[in-house]
């Protein structure tokens, strides 16, 4: 199925070269070619989403696994992916999806069929994840529009490298939950790791989402010998504080060797050092992920220290917050705890 893309411009009328305006790579695509992600193709001078509806994985999953700890706690989202990516991280966990381009022979799942599956699974929402969902932009617009009509929330697990046009249209159709991976800092260019990526734009976009009323949680995968040095983590935390503010959660996650990056896993001591620094700099909700230790994923009141939410195996096992005029607060001291949506109590699923 071919669908004409919403976001592109003509870069060269004579040679029919198109500029894709979905992500900040802004690929200039000649006739008959695709951009970096392989999902958008120049066909006779118009841009088409050739990967539209070509789903690579679909599964009902806890929202906490994204990770989104402050968004519809204990809910589940029908999580789906397509093929391709606009980055090529050498430590990509889902490289078998991210580094394969869609083929003409791949089957197509309609937006209506995907939403119906979420309803049948009794999920509270939808989540575009696994590979980079920006590459599936036109399909997401249709899925989230239809899902919103059916009362489903919409979330993105993304590298945050969209254009403002793409981001704003996704917000308009209901995508208000964003788990954004920050891959590193400007100094990584010296190591020639993701040299084409402008990490400033990721924070620009995260701030834009907040300004438009969306919910953001930042995820910093601390990769050994890539983005784990002091200059890098201080830049990341400084940008978080200055541009996003203290209430936006930060997940400091452990890396494990995968794909082409075979350096040792991130030492727990380094993760704790970075998390402690982030708290001292003023970030109120800092978590350490990918360790399997519940104490690192527990929400405590940043003012009085009371335990408020306990999570084990990506499920909420304890929830103690007061709901006051639509805002969650610490029951001991009244401090505001940012939570989007409502806590889904009594919902149990099993992960193995």
pLDDT tens for residues 244-260?
999 999 999 999 999 99
pLDDT reading at 307 higher than 50: yes
Report the predicted TM-score, pTM, of the whole model to 2 decimal places: 0.97
**Mean of the pLDDT values across residues 297-323?**
97
pLDDT reading at 347 higher than 90: no
pLDDT reading at 348 higher than 80: no
pLDDT (tens digit per residue) in 144-161: 999 999 999 999 999 999
> Which homologous superfamily does the CATH classification assign to the domain defined by 57-298?
Aldolase class I (3.20.20.70)
pLDDT reading at 7 higher than 90: yes
| pLDDT value of position 43 | 97
Strand blocks (E) in the chain:
3-4, 8-12, 17-20, 28-29, 40-43, 46-49, 57-62, 76-81, 125-128, 153-158, 175-181, 215-222, 250-254, 286-289, 299-300, 307-312, 315-319, 322-324, 327-329
Over the range 305-336, which residues count as b (16 or more CB within 10 Å of their CB) and which as e?
A: eeebbbbeebbbeebebeeeeeebbbeeeeee
pLDDT reading at 350 higher than 60: no
Q: How confident is the model at residue 190 (pLDDT cuts 50, 70, 90)?
A: confident
pLDDT reading at 351 higher than 90: no
Give CA angle at 32 (29, 34), nearest 5°.
Answer: 45
pLDDT (tens digit per residue) in 282-291: 999 999 999 9
Q: What percent of the chain has pLDDT over 70?
A: 98
pLDDT reading at 352 higher than 50: no
The domain locations on the chain are: 3-49, 57-298
């Amino acid at each position: 199925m071919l669908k004409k893309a919403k976001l592109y411009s003509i870069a060269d009328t004579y040679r029919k070269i198109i500029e894709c305006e979905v992500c900040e790579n802004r690929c200039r695509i000649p006739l008959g070619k695709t951009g970096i992600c392989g999902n958008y193709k120049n066909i006779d001078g118009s841009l088409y989403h050739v990967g539209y509806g070509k789903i690579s994985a679909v599964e009902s999953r806890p929202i906490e696994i994204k990770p989104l700890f402050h968004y519809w706690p204990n809910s589940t989202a029908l999580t789906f992916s397509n093929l391709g990516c606009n980055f090529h991280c050498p430590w990509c966990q889902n490289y078998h999806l991210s580094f394969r381009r869609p083929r003409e022979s791949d089957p197509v799942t309609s937006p209506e069929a995907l939403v119906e599956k979420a309803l049948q699974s009794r999920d509270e929402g939808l989540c575009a994840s696994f590979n980079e969902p920006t590459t599936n932009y036109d399909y997401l617009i249709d899925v989230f529009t239809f899902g919103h009509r059916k009362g489903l929330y919409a979330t993105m697990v993304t590298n945050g490298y969209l254009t403002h046009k793409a981001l704003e249209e996704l917000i308009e159709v209901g995508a208000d939950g964003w788990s954004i991976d920050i891959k590193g800092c400007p100094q990584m260019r010296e190591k020639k790791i993701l040299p084409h990526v402008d990490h400033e734009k990721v924070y620009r976009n995260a701030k834009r989402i907040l300004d438009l009323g969306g919910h953001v949680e930042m995820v910093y995968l601390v990769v050994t010998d890539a983005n784990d040095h002091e200059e890098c983590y201080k830049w990341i935390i400084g940008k978080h504080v200055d541009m996003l503010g203290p209430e936006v959660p930060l997940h400091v996650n452990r890396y494990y060797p995968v794909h082409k990056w075979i350096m040792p896993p991130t030492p727990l001591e380094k993760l704790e050092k970075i998390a402690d620094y982030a708290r001292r700099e003023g970030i109120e909700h800092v978590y350490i992920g990918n360790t399997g230790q519940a104490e690192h994923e527990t929400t405590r009141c940043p003012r009085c220290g009371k335990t408020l939410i306990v999570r084990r195996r990506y499920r909420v096992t304890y929830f103690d917050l007061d709901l006051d005029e639509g805002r969650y607060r610490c029951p001991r001291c009244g401090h505001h705890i940012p939570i989007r949506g409502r806590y889904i109590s009594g919902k149990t699923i099993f992960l193995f």
